[in-house]
């Protein structure tokens, strides 16, 4: 198994689908946000509020390279912004396989509206503000996400198992090629 990096906007299911796919493929799943929290001994929200986004993005950059130097054979759910800063996307494409988990912005907004408290970039936004934020941020980030080696169009109304099954098929195909 290669290094597989799951890209996509927050809330699309990178961690959930990654865990299911890793179990089906008998490989390890790594949640990059959890790695950042362990590395800094702070939650993502604390890092943002106490140190700022620029510091957070630098930690992401450094930790990504450290993980790739020491680890192989994994599926990693990345943070939503990770591919968009410090040449991280190019680095992931050079050292593994990237898969963009793509979902419609309206479905992302719906999912995030029900879980916004745990996400520092969207905490305390009204539904209208959240919708505008998702639209604007997705427009900027899409140019990075679309450079992934594979794109999986998700139906967020489908079961997690079905979407993870499609992800497993993509990973198996990439391993053969």
From first to last of its 177 residues, the chain has per-residue pLDDT tens of 689 999 999 999 999 999 999 999 999 999 999 999 999 999 998 999 999 999 999 999 999 999 999 999 999 999 999 999 999 999 999 999 999 999 999 999 999 998 756 677 788 899 999 999 999 999 999 999 999 999 999 988 888 999 999 999 999 998 887
Q: 3-169 has which fold?
A: Rossmann fold (3.40.50)
CA distances, 1 to each of 72, 94, 148, 150 (Å): 8, 15, 18, 16
Burial class, 67, CB count within 10 angstroms (exposed 0-12 / middle 13-18 / buried 19+): middle
C-beta contacts of 31-35 below 8 A and 24+ residues apart: 31/76, 31/77, 32/60, 32/63, 32/64, 32/76, 32/77, 32/78, 32/79, 32/82, 33/77, 33/79, 35/63, 35/67
Residues 118, 30: Cα–Cα separation, whole Å: 19
Predicted local confidence at residue 23, as pLDDT: 97
**Global pTM exceeds 0.85:** yes
Domain boundaries, the chain: 3-169
Give the number of other Cβ atoms within 10 Å of residue 158's Cβ: 11
């Amino acid at each position: 198994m290669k290094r597989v990096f799951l890209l996509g906007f927050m809330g699309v299911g990178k961690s959930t689908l990654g865990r299911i796919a890793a179990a089906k493929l008998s490989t390890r799943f790594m949640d990059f946000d959890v790695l950042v929290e362990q590395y800094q001994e702070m939650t993502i929200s604390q890092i943002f509020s106490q140190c700022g986004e620029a510091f957070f993005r630098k930690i992401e950059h450094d930790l990504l390279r450290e993980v790739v130097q020491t680890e192989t054979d994994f599926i990693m759910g990345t943070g939503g912004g990770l591919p968009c800063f410090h040449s991280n996307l190019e680095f992931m494409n050079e050292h593994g396989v990237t898969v963009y988990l793509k979902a419609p912005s309206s479905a992302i907004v719906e999912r995030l509206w029900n879980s916004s408290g745990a996400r520092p970039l969207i905490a305390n936004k009204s539904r209208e503000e959240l919708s505008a934020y998702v639209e604007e941020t997705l427009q900027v980030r899409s140019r990075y996400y679309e450079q992934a080696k594979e794109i999986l169009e998700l139906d967020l109304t489908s079961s997690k198992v079905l979407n993870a099954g499609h992800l497993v098929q993509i990973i198996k195909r990439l391993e053969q090629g």
